[in-house]
Structure 1
Amino acid sequence: MFVFLSQLIQLLFYPLGLSIFLTLIGLLLLKRRGLYKFGITLLVFALSLLWISSTSLVARSMAQSLEFQNLPKEVAAADAIVVLGGATKSHQAPRTMPEVNDAGDRIIYATRLYKDGKAPKIIVSGGRIPWHGDVGTEADHMASLMELFGVPRSALLEESDSMNTRKNAENIKQMLEKEQLNKLILVTSAIHMPRALAIFRRLEIDVVPAPTDFYSVFPYKGKKASFQLSSLLPQVGNLDLTTRAMKEYIGLWVYRLRGWA
């Protein structure tokens, strides 16, 4: 129930959902005597919010504020690599197998770390959200894809009962005690790493960040970052990135409020 409510309530805080909500209220107020100007104000605010959230200036800045908190560095050897879910699409028809989404770098990077000898085990973590209509679990999807990349099934451990990052960490902690594992390498998208890292460390799990799937990049060598007018043009991809960043900030705030991070 918490997962469902958190998904539903957050829609009102995201730019698109909030803009639609304010637009509907604004249109209703236009027909009310004495509230016409307030209705216009809401419409202008909704349009401005949607435009600003769709610019690369805002989207990249918000993403960078999260991603650059844990920049890549040499990863030390550990007992296991943990890969968090959110990187796959289930094998519903007409798909013939599980497929990766734009966070699929998590699977590729974890496989690379395994083949580089950074850990002898990979824990794939992620359940199935019932109302998404998915077939199978995220853990099973990731394990299947990693096998295609040459990771033996004997090296894969599945945690398939969690539906959010907090539950990922709780279930993995139980697995660590059972499997007698200690130090972990945590693989997830760079934009999600600050929240995931805070949750794992709150549970006193010895974890080293290994971020991937970066949206933000450094300027080309020898070229200074400069303001461009095109960064103020709205694009749907920027709106999606702003929403992802807001989801992380809201999630981190809620988790801290509940004592989870």
Structure 2
Amino acid sequence: MFLYLSKLLPLFFYPLGLACILIIFALVTLWKKPRQASTALTIALIVLLLASNGWVSRSLVRSLEFQNIPQQLPNADAIVVLGGATKPAFPPRPSVDLSEESDRMFYAAQLYHQKKAPFVILSGGRIDWSGAGPSESADMAIIMQQLGVPETAIIQEPDSLNTYENAVNVKKILQARQFNQVLLVTSAMHMPRSLAIFNKLRISAIPAPTDFLASGDMQYISNSSEASLLNLLPEAERLYQSTRALKEYVGLVVYRLRGWL
């Protein structure tokens, strides 16, 4: 039930979901309370314009991604890759597809080939309502082998359905194999929440973020009048990025309330 509610309830806090609720409210009250309806429509428009604004979306993304800037990484006992990077091989897909977050696997494979760790732990299950099929860890294992990581170096954790379960289940593997330190690979925006959970469970995890959506181009945008103007215009991709950032902030609040952080 918690998993279902964790996916459903935050939608009311995201820009698109909130705007839809306000629009529905406006339609219901349009004839009897036109002033309230007008206010709701105005708020909905402001929410969408702000969330799809380049300046706002970049600021939200950077506030999370720039908390763990990549440094020179030491060697560790294993590389932990969190799920969310693949799409299952459901027809008409001919094989496992890669999502935006697939940089996680490419970066983990790069770290493995750099001999940063002798093992790669792939953590991720499959939510029931997303369809039957192999766990995401199994899908990731296919891609990792295609990237040159041998099957003997891959450890699968196929049961976790959220970030907290990722950490709990990975800890069991670390204890069973007497691993002390890991490189934690996930998207840069997801890293603050992930790292906080691993630290809470007293797992010695070194952040190895990847999949950066924001870069150091803010200075160029500030100095370019054309780029500054274009960043004020609404864009669906910026709305998506703002939503992803807000999802992480909502997750931080919920996880802290549950005592997971």
Identity between Structure 1 and Structure 2 (%) = 48
Counterpart for residue 95 of structure 1: 93
Mark the runs of 5 or more structure 2 residues left unpaired by the alignment. none
Between the aligned partners of 2:43 and 2:178, the Cα distance in structure 1 is 55
2:209 equivalent to 1:208 = no
Counterpart CA distance in 1 for 2:202 and 2:57 is 32
What root-mean-square deviation, in Å, do the aligned CA atoms of Structure 1 and Structure 2 show? Answer: 1.3
Q: Partners in 2 of 1:194 and 1:79 — Cα distance?
A: 22
Residue equivalent to 1:194: 192
- String of CA shifts for 1:48-76, please: whole Å, max 9, x gaps: 10111111111111000000000011110
Question: Please, which of 173, 185, 197 is the counterpart of residue 175 of structure 1?
Answer: 173
Distance 1:224 1:29 in 2: 42
Residue in 2 aligned with 1:255? 255
Gaps of 5+ in 1: none
2:148 to 131, 136, 150: 150
Is the contact between residue 27 and residue 43 of structure 1 (CA under 8 Å) also seen in structure 2?
Answer: no
Distance 2:56 2:159 in 1: 36
Aligned residue number for residue 82 of structure 1:
80
TM-score, with normalisation over the residues of structure 2? 0.96
Query: Segments of 4+ in structure 1 off by > 6 A?
Result: none
The amino acid that maps onto 1:245 is: A
1:50 match: 48
Distance 1:134 1:187, change over 3 A: farther
Residue 229 of structure 1: how far off its partner (Å): 1.5
Q: Name the residue aligned to 2:162.
A: 164
Within 5 Å, which residues of 2 pair with 1:90-129? 90-129=88-127
Corresponding residue number in structure 1 for 2:35: 37
SS at match of 1:117: coil
Name the counterpart of 2:16. 16
- Which amino acid in 2 is paired with 1:92? F
SS in 1 for 2:215: coil
Query: Which letter maps to 2:116?
Result: K
Contact in 2 for aligned 1:190/1:214 (Cα 8 Å): yes
